[in-house]
Chains A and B, each alone.
Chain A
Amino acid sequence: MAYEVNGQVVEHDEEGYIVNLSDWSRELAEEIAKTENIEMTDEHWEVVNFLRDYYEEYQIAPAVRVLIKAIKKSMGPEKGNNKYMYELFPYGPAKQACKIAGLPKPTGCV
């Protein structure tokens, strides 16, 4: 199973998370978002970039509760809330945004 971006083949697991984190690119993110029926906007990118920074710093993909709390702290309560985040990523902000960000599935997600 793989995504294809600009003629490059990027392997992913059975749930769509990429296997090698270093394969990630913005183009790939757009491609993954398509398979999730998400049209990437600046607001989506803001969350995806936040997740990538979080992973860079802590080496984990945070659980959804932790993600929303962290977003609230850094971007304010109008973004750090369930409604806003689920509007951007209807099938789970942590799950979908992590997939698009090229991170592993969040620890604790089943």
Chain B
Amino acid sequence: MSDTKKFLYVNRKAPYGTIYALESLEVVLIGAAFEQEVALAFLDDGVFQLTKGQDTTGIGVKNFSPTFRALGDYDVNKLYVERESLEERGLSEDDLQEIMYEDEDDDWAEKPSIRIVSRAEMADIMAEQDVILSF
């Protein structure tokens, strides 16, 4: 079967404290090998996963936030972040780390992977998917 499906990984939990965020990222990296169309959504406390300057030394777990920057190498370059979730937590786009990918169809120009969308747009994005996995 050559048909590719649209996969959306929905991240709603803070990066540490539970294993959901890290597991989600691992599944994304594994799934990226199957050449499906993969996008990630960050809403609710999930928006904290992308904040910059994370420091986990006090809690004794690995800071996996740099791994998001490798997603471009895995051809995963759509990271939708819900604006309302950011605002409700006093965050803005400037609080998120910069995640870039190289656009193969545009002479490898570097482009940002993070796209801030409204709650209504997020609903439309979800409606377009073939498969949604929630973490």
How big is the A interface, by class? Answer: 10 to 19
How many chain B residues touch A (Cβ–Cβ < 8 Å)?
14
Contact B26 A62, beta carbon cutoff 8 Å:
no
Contact A63 B74, beta carbon cutoff 8 Å:
yes
Main secondary structure, interface of B, reads: helix
B64 to chain A, nearest CB (A): 6
Query: How far does the alpha carbon of A62 sit from the alpha carbon of B70 in the complex, in Å?
Result: 9
Chain A residues in 8 Å Cβ range of B74: 63, 66
Contact pattern, A 59-81, Cβ under 8 Å of B = 1, otherwise 0: 11011011001100000000000
Q: Does B122 contact A (CB under 8 A)?
A: no
Contact pattern, A 79-106, Cβ under 8 Å of B = 1, otherwise 0: 0000000000000000000000000000
Q: Does A108 contact B (CB under 8 A)?
A: yes
Query: How far does the alpha carbon of A53 sit from the alpha carbon of B26 in the complex, in Å?
Result: 20
How many residue pairs link A and B with beta carbons under 8 A? The number is 33
Query: How far does the alpha carbon of A79 sit from the alpha carbon of B18 in the complex, in Å?
Result: 41
Near A by CB (< 8 A), chain B positions 62-84 give 62-64, 66-67, 69-70, 73-74
Contact A58 B67, beta carbon cutoff 8 Å:
yes
Contact A59 B26, beta carbon cutoff 8 Å:
no
Query: How far does the alpha carbon of A59 sit from the alpha carbon of B130 in the complex, in Å?
Result: 30
* 10 sampled A-B residue pairs with Cβ under 8 A: A60-B67, A63-B29, A63-B33, A63-B74, A66-B74, A69-B73, A107-B26, A107-B30, A108-B29, A108-B33
Closest 9 CB pairs of A and B: A58-B70, A108-B30, A66-B73, A107-B29, A59-B66, A60-B67, A59-B67, A58-B66, A58-B67
